[in-house]
Amino acid sequence: MNYQKPTPVQEEAIPKILANKDMIACAQTGTGKTAAYLLPILQKISTNTDENYINTLVISPTRELAQQIDNQLEGFAYFAPVSSIAIYGGSDGTIFEKEKKALVKGAEIIIATPGRLMSHINLGYVNFSKLKHLVLDEADKMLDMGFFDDIMKIISHLPKQRQTLLFSATMPEKIKDLAKKILTNPEFISLAVSKPAENVLQGAYFLDDKYKTELVKQLVIGKNLKSIIIFSSTKANVKIIERELLKSTLTVGAIHSDLEQTQRETVMNDFRNRKIQLLVATDIVSRGIDIDSIDLVINYDVPGDAEDYIHRIGRTARAEASGIAITFVNNMDRIKFERIEKFLGDSIKNIPLPDGIPSIGPYVASRDKKTFFRGKGPKRY
């Protein structure tokens, strides 16, 4: 697979995992965390001659990330005697039966979303008695999505003697509390916590919402950009953006929670294969896509917190490539944007708007009263 040298997180994590240490690894998105745990686990399973059983459980927050992990595992394990399945749900009953069969027969590596796995566990046929490895991938996102109770219920069905690996892009207090509950004397790895890759060129435009779609068109149409992602915080907005951009010459697809799984997979495959130039998505994709050479990420609105910003712009500049991340900021989003800049410890460049699109001008924000001043008098939002 043309791996020439390990990334920093792989270099630190692999020896610890091979030494059967519990571990917390905190590293920014796109640094090779998936290979950091899959490669040493595959090495250990490949030298185990016991009969088939569930050896490793990888829990991920979204079906997109579960698919991504599964795809990488297929490549890594192509010549290894290891069976695996991704369990992330779908409306088709045959999919559920296929998942059940793998769980009962004991596929060695199970990659699962918490809710779907709980559906199988509740039916009583899942046997984790010989499990050796538990991996929580994107643990911070799982807790943000409200999966704490499901995770603890799943863990209650696992043997206490196991190796537990917790991977997270950020390390808030709730992750530390979870680690205390489920890990034993863990090793800790922290690399560039919650900072964007240095080769991401970041910028911001300050404008009213009604000009955002026009600005997208001016930034993209006629430019040599093969792959672009636009993030918006709501599925309603994603649908509107997709509809407006489809009126142009752009090839556009959208991913949001209202789509069936097969529809989402079709859109993602078309984007991956460059049949679609521009993908519009909610944050459901911000941690569940592993595609190199994404030229541009646009935050159509400012994300709710700095961690989401990191994950969104982390879709570009992967695998040591360079990329561009642009954020559209309206008046209502200024305070959120300032919080992101404070979190980053640096200001994001304010880019002049092209002709025909007016700037919203220099506002002064009062954090205490949440009042914005422009001209002579205050306007309260």
For the chain, what is the mean pLDDT? 85
pLDDT in tens, 89-143: 765 778 899 999 999 988 999 999 999 999 999 999 999 999 999 999 988 888 8
**What are the two backbone dihedrals, phi and then psi, of residue 99, each rounded to the nearest 5 degrees?**
-65, -45
Tell me how far apart the alpha carbons of residues 237 and 226 are, in angstroms, rounded to a whole number. Answer: 23
Tell me how far apart the alpha carbons of residues 221 and 215 are, in angstroms, rounded to a whole number. Answer: 10
Encoded tokens for 297: 């990420």
Per-residue pLDDT at 339 exceeds 50: yes
pLDDT of residue 256: 84
pLDDT in tens, 36-70: 999 999 999 988 766 678 999 999 998 888 988 99
Tell me how far apart the alpha carbons of residues 304 and 231 are, in angstroms, rounded to a whole number. Answer: 12
pLDDT of residue 289: 63
Kind and range of the H or E element at 142? helix 139-144
- Domain 200-380 in the same topology as domain 8-191: yes
pLDDT of residue 249: 86
Q: Is the whole-model pTM more than 0.75?
A: no
Tell me how far apart the alpha carbons of residues 306 and 75 are, in angstroms, rounded to a whole number. Answer: 33
- Domain borders along the chain are 8-191, 200-380
Tell me how far apart the alpha carbons of residues 62 and 78 are, in angstroms, rounded to a whole number. Answer: 24
Indicate the CATH number for domain 200-380: 3.40.50.300
Which of 89-93, 201-205, 232-236 comes out lowest in average pLDDT? Answer: 89-93
Per-residue pLDDT at 365 exceeds 50: no
Q: How would CATH label the architecture of 8-191?
A: 3-Layer(aba) Sandwich (3.40)
